[in-house]
Structure 1
Amino acid sequence: MATGRTWSKTAVQGKAQGFSLIEMLVVMTIMGLIVSVVTLSTGFLSSVFGADGEGSVESVADELMVLMAAASSQAVLSGEPMAMGFASSSAAQDEGIAVTWLRYGRVTGGSVRNRQAMWQQVSGQAGLRDLPLPSALSSELSIEGELIDAQVLAASPGMPALVFYPTGESTAFHWLLARGEQAVTLTNASTGEIEWRQP
């Protein structure tokens, strides 16, 4: 009489496995980062700008949303806060400004004791690039209810305005972009997700 082990159907069914929520979130974050990098590197969104950088309000808002999504994904993947800042832009006229990107981390080099965490420029890395804001564009940015003067921040490069955390959260903001009759609002104040609205 042959002896052996038999497995019941219910025991086999109990071994079924799937993906955990964490695994799915990591995959979705990586996919979002890849899409952002490909979109920015191919210049698809930049093609909507004219030779002088004068784009429509909608195109500027779209490109800002892609860059913010890339910064948020990078913060989650690296475990280090990322931030949006401002700097003087030579590409824009009339004392124009540009959106720049920063990472909060330890400075390399020197002795271990002297290494301290600080905001560092990362524009041009991980799909993030400086975005000159057209001089004809009216911009009103409020962060956590306080109106921010972008020109003042541009005079101090390396100063963060909007921070993206490794948890996927960011500081609450409300950004009105307008040009003539066109107006778009970028905000995350109500849901936590960055939203694109037209009045």
Structure 2
Amino acid sequence: AGLGELRAALAATLDASSVPRRVHLVRELPRETNGKLQRARALRALGLGPDGQPRAFSLAWDGAVEAPPAPSESAERRVFRARVPEGYAWYDGHFATYPVMAGAVQLHDVVLPCVRRALPAAGPLASLARVKFLGRIAPGDAIAVTLDWERGQSAVVDFTITAGERACSSGRLTLRAAAGAAGEEATTP
């Protein structure tokens, strides 16, 4: 049965105020070999954090994209802004008393979506260079992702992530040519 069918069945037998607003279907509860159910694993399976609150699986991006002056006349620059949710799912397991956003999450969930938005015709990631994780990105931080690339050379993109004035990470991405674009350069938006 699908989620809609489940809601309809509950609505048919329960008072409207008793029908759950949020339903999370799981194939089975994550039990230990002895049959016990660990609270933390059960909460994770239900999409909840250790505090029982829903986990956020994406950043709260500001819809605007800034195009401030680039470092040179032949360069392009774009700045994207987001707030890291307090219940961001990827902090789970990364130090309960001092949450740290993992480097892989910074690249996959923060930098690459910005690159895809700034350069939609660019191909997949080919390599990383000069990647430095300089400071912590904490729950609740307002971050800025700055991308720089040379006009006509959109296969190489430099990035920085800052939280206020604090540098958090930086590096260089090299992108493969987009499929079907052999011999063509990706254009900027």
**TM-score, length of structure 2 as denominator length:** 0.26
Higher relative contact order (CA 8 A, sep 6+): 1
**TM-score, length of structure 1 as denominator length:** 0.25
